[in-house]
Amino acid sequence: MKYFFLVVIALLAAAPAFAGQPEAREVARINNCPPKKIDVYQNSPGPMGVTIYQVTCNLPKTTDKNAPAGPDALLISCDAALCEMLRPITLSKQ
């Protein structure tokens, strides 16, 4: 019985660290997007699982009516220990 607990502890210690929301937040900051909200956009479970986060940016208000509207969110992909930006997106205003 005591060997069972040793095996469980060894498996937990050998489990890889998974990148998550804190890492996605840091990638957003690096890409000039102060994060306001982080949502799971897509999740692929499994040993080689990937989570895609949608990070809504906290952008300053502009007073220029003719200024082009740029992207206001990012898609960030995180796997075992690495997060990277996939692409910027524009959220629909409804």
**Cβ distance 57 to 23 under 8 Å?**
no
Split at pLDDT 50, 70, 90, the class of 8 is: low
In this structure, what DSSP letter does residue 66 have?
Answer: T
Confidence class of residue 66 from pLDDT cuts 50, 70 and 90? Answer: confident
**Tens-place pLDDT, residues 10-61:** 544 444 556 788 899 999 999 988 999 999 999 988 878 899 999 999 887 7
From the list 11, 16, 10, the residue with the least C-alpha distance to 80 is 16
For 68-84, the pLDDT digits (tens) are: 767 889 999 998 779 99
pLDDT category of residue 64 using cuts at 50, 70 and 90: confident
Sign of CA dihedral 8, 14, 20, 23: positive
Please state the pTM of the whole predicted model. Answer: 0.72
